[in-house]
Each structure stands twice: as structure tokens, then as C-alpha cells.
Structure 1
Amino acid sequence: MSETCSHNCSSCGSDCKERTAPQNMKEALHPQAEVRKVIAVVSGKGGVGKSLVTSMMAVAMRRKGYETAVLDADITGPSIPKTFGIHGRAMGSEEGIIPAKTRTGIQMMSVNLLLGDETDPVIWRGPIIANTVKQFWSEVIWNNVDYMFVDMPPGTGDVPLTVFQSLPVAGILVVASPQELVSMIVEKAVKMAEMMNVPVLGLVENMSYFECPDCHKRHAIFGESHMDEIAARYGIANVAKLPIDPELAKLCDEGRIEEYSGSWLEDMAGMVQGL
């Protein structure tokens, strides 16, 4: 009997339909939870503002009146709770884990909400980290969520693969910065999404420019943007560009990202709304 068959297929040969059928690796959602759309936010490298974009997208969709959530899959570098000013512990019940809620009602789960001290390092090997991400999906009682944004760790390793295989990801947003080298890194993320049959919904370029507060002229501090070229090459219709904005950085540091103002991601949020 094959490991993937429920019957003795020794007489079936290589044409056994059950043995050769694609195997469903999706994790079951908690029986009491409901999540309609999952959008993963990815980056090819760290430090480009992926968590910022994840937070801003959750806030943007919440402002549109939707129930939104953030699953922090960056287990060894969690920053989502601090961005929203959440410093307590997640609560549990006999049924499962209750996600934390932000001031405006965004649901959230992060490993930082399970640690004795939020500054404790998470020194775990890959399989444990990947399993934790799956538990955040299957053991948390997500309450009537319209849009869940998954803050992924950088790169194309264990956790991104786990998320793509285990969660019903409707699409991804790729976050990058303007440096020349980033073009190659973005393309790696786009190609991984293609290999996993997950559509790329849009590209977000963070730190795209600095706008002088006096003359309002825009300066490309980190070099000219290549996002439009990459988007055209892969047929990606949506591109958003975030400025270098000290006010955004301050809001993140103070846990007040829900107070941000700016329409940079409005088109991206409208596109997500249309999924």
C-alpha cells in the first residue's frame, strides 16, 4: 500500500489515481474561527518595511469597515505587537487561543504575546518555527475575519513555504526598497509565488523617496525606482510607493500606527477589497 493511498494499490500500477493525486497540505482552521481572505506580505530581504506595510494594510481595510487581522509569522523577529502598542499576553481558553485586539479592533497573534518577556529571544529551529505558524492558524479563534494579513519573515525559506502550503493564501504583496540589488531579490519572491501558484497582487516600494517639507520636491535618497519596470515585466498592475516619512517611523515606535494619515496604499487596499 502506498503512503498516500487508502487501499491496497499493488495491482494498480503507476496509474493509481489516488496515489498520483495532488495531496492537500492545508491546515484546518479552528472550528470556531472564520477567515475569508488571507493575504501574505513578503520581502526578499529584511529591513525594507514589510511589517510596516502589513500594519498599514490592516489599518486601511479596518477603516473601510472590515474585520481585519494580522498573523505575525516572523517568529524570530516579531515587531507587529510593538507597532500597534500591544504589550500584554494572549489569553487562552479550553477551546483555543484568543487573539489580542488593537485599539480599533484589529485581531492579532504573535509569538511576542506568548513570551514571558517580549524582549526574550526566540531561539528555535526551523521545524518548530514552521509548526508555530501553523498553530497560529489552527489553534487561534479568529473571530469573523474578512481580511487576514500575514507578516512573513524575509526570504524564501521554511516559513514562507509553510504559509503557502498550509494556509489558503489568496495572494501576496511584495515589499522592497529602491536599491538596484533589490530588483533581483524582488524577482525571486515573485518567482516563488509563481511556483506556488499564488498570485502577486501588488508591489510596494518603501523608502521610495523623501519629500522636502519646505519645497515639496521629491528626492530619491536610495536611488531611482525600478518597481514599475519589474511590475511591467511580470504583468503586475498594482504598484505603491511609500516615502521616507519620520512621522510614520514615530508612530511605529510609539505603537500608534492606527493613527497614520496618507493615501499611499489606498489603491492597494481597493484592489484587496475586490478579491
Structure 2
Amino acid sequence: MSSLDENRVKKALQRVEDPALEHDIVSYRIYKGCEVSGNKVLVHVTIPTPAYPKDARRELEKRITEALTQEGAKKVTVKAEVETAWIPPPSDKMNLQGPKNVIAVAAGKGGVGKSTVATNLALSLVRHGAKVGLLDADIFGPSIPTMLGPPDKPAGTTPDQKILPAQHHGLKVISVGFFVDKNEAVVWRGPMVHRLLQQFLQDVVWGDLDYLVCDLPPGTGDVQLSLSQLIPIAGAVMVTTPQEVSIIDVVKGISMFEKVEIPVLGIVENMSYYVCPACGHNDEIFSHGGGKRLAQETDVPFLGEIPIDSRIRFGGDSGVPIVASLPDSEHARCFMDIASRTALGIAERILSQPKRSPRLAVIR
């Protein structure tokens, strides 16, 4: 057997499949190079999102080691660096300063827990180690300020009149609810909504963010169209409850995103089932499985299901969402898994485009 060199290492690693992205690590640019010294090999790889599962990372290192050991390596060291994959915006979109990937959280109708999912999704990404912002784009019914409670640091302005977002539980947050009385109705026409969104995007000092989560209003109205026109959106997460009346409206939402060329990252089924805390009986109050069935019918990923639980409701009402208040609970883990699948979906879409090299922002 010939001695190891960089070409042999790369050829061997072309047969290694990334356990999370399910594609070989060379064509997906996970493999970045190597250093060979005799029968010792140092392999450099990039992890394309902070939400990459820990068990998948261990499995990746194991697969690389096994592949190179079969080629004669006696010692294999894998050096991994977390870098968030993203693509620069096209010339016809506003260059959003700071955030690299925008995630829209949407629902076909109100009352399905969209804001609860958006808030806990954003907090889960923070727990995964990402730098995250949360934009409350539900102009007429802003609920994020209530769900997050009093800020650790309130919103403010810079000397040049830029907006500084509030900070809650490690999140940078902006909402129209910070600037109007909570009992005052926002009665605006479409152009005013468009200008406010433009200000929130252009004039807010978001800073360096891996993800900006946008909580959209329900339906397919002005806010969705304005955002799609103003900035590039990495993808949308659709929130539904299991029953048919909700599923019908999600189909319309998916159709809207297809028309404005925004990929749907997946579907979350909220209020999926209820487990009695006394006897453990599982009750499917709003039916069950509608979200998963819709995902199969529309050929989009199913990101996960969230049960009905008073602790989730209480977390939103009290201003401390369950991911922050009970981070080790089973329900918090559900949100963590959904966040990981969402981030991996973004990375997979970017890394599967060989003709467009993504920029990589190193997380320090």
C-alpha cells in the first residue's frame, strides 16, 4: 500500500457520509483539508451550524477515523470548527446588516401557537450556541413582549438614531409592542406596515447574528409579501395543529411561499397530544398526525410535534418560555430538536448548491 498523502485522504473521505446531512463530506464542503505526517493525519472539518447534534459530531469523527485507518493511518485527529453556512443576498434584495440566515415562522391561521414556537425556536438556537435575533413581525398582534417578559436590557437608540434591540435570555429582540401601549390597537394600512418592517430591518443594530427568527402574523398578507420583497429569507417554518381546519390553511401558506420563492424548511405540529400527568393517558384532543401527513403530501420535512402542556402555556404567559424556565424538560428537548432540524435544513440547502459558494462566518 502506498504512503498516505493529501490526495489519498481526500479520496477516502469522499466515501464518508455526514451523519446529519446524509451526504459525503467532500462534496458538501465539510472536509476542509488535512495535514499528513507519516502515518499520522490531522483532518480539518467545518460544522455548518451551531445546532449540529453532538451525537452526530461524535459519529462524524468516528467515520473519518475508521475511513483513514483502513487506508493505513495509525493516528487520526479530527479538528472541527463551527462555521455557520450562508449565502450573500442577491443584488435585488436589501443587504440586511448582521443576520446571516433569516427564518420565517408562519401559520395559515391564528391560534395555533406560532409565536410560542417562534420564541422557543429562537431560544433553542441560543442554547445550541448560536447568535440569534427575534423579530416580532406580527404588527397588529405583537405577543413576543409578553412571552419574553421584562427585558434584561431594554430597547434603545444610538447617537445616530439607530435602534438597539432589547435583550431577553440571550436573544436580541425587536417588536412594535416595545413602542406602543399594550392596550392600544395598531390601525395601519399596508404601506405603513411595509415602512415599519423596512425600519426594523435597516435601522436596527442587530450585530453579527447566525439566525434572525421572524414571527409572522397568520395568513398570507402584507407582512409576508413585504419581507419576501425586502430581504432574502433562508426558509420558512410552518406551524399547524393536527386538525383539518388548520391543515387546510397551512397548504395555502406553503403555496404562498412557493410563489415568492421562499423554501419551506418544514412543518411543526403544535398541540399534538395531551398526556395526563396523573395517569399517563394520551389524549389526542385536536386529532393527531395531521402535520406529519401534510409534510408527506407536500414533500417537505416534518420537524417535530409539540404536546399540549400547561407548562408551555404558563411559560409564555409568565414571560419565561419553557426552553428558558425548564431547559432540561422533555418539552424543551422537543424544541431543541426542532431547532436543530431547522438549522440543518438551512445548511443542507446551502451546501447542496455547488455552483454558489457560501460564505462562512466563524463563531468565536
TM-score range, shorter chain: 0.7 to 0.9
Do the aligned residues in 2 keep the contact of 1:89 with 1:114 (CA within 8 Å)?
no
Do the aligned residues in 2 keep the contact of 1:81 with 1:110 (CA within 8 Å)?
yes
Do the aligned residues in 1 keep the contact of 2:155 with 2:167 (CA within 8 Å)?
no
Does residue 92 of structure 1 match 2:162?
Answer: no
Find 1:61's aligned residue among 125, 146, 167: 125
Distance 1:28 1:148 in 2: 14
The equivalent residue for 2:38 is none
Choose 1 or 2 for highest CA Rg.
Answer: 2
The equivalent residue for 1:172 is 236
Matched residue pairs, number?
Answer: 248
The equivalent residue for 1:101 is 167
Task: Give the alignment's TM-score, normalised by structure 2.
Answer: 0.65
- The unaligned stretches of length 5 or more in structure 1 are 1-22
Give CA-to-partner distance per residue, 1:112-134, whole Å, 9 cap, x none: 1122x233221111210122112
Do the aligned residues in 1 keep the contact of 2:292 with 2:302 (CA within 8 Å)?
no
Q: Which has the higher contact order (CA 8 A, sep 6+)?
A: 1
Alignment of 1:80-229 (within 5 A): 80-86=144-150, 90-95=155-160, 96-102=162-168, 104-115=169-180, 117-229=181-293
Q: Which is strand-richer, 1 or 2?
A: 2
Aligned-pair distance for 1:24? Answer: 5.5
Do the aligned residues in 2 keep the contact of 1:90 with 1:114 (CA within 8 Å)?
no
Give CA-to-partner distance per residue, 1:174-194, whole Å, 9 cap, x none: 011122122211111111111
Distance 1:141 1:154 in 2: 27
Task: Give the alignment's TM-score, normalised by structure 1.
Answer: 0.85
Percent sequence identity over matched residues? Answer: 38
Find 1:273's aligned residue among 323, 326, 343: 343
The equivalent residue for 2:141 is 77
Does residue 47 of structure 1 match 2:114?
Answer: no
Distance 2:308 2:238 in 1: 18
- AA paired with 2:113? G
The root-mean-square deviation of aligned C-alpha atoms, in Å, is: 1.7
- AA paired with 1:98? L
Aligned-pair distance for 1:89? Answer: 5.5
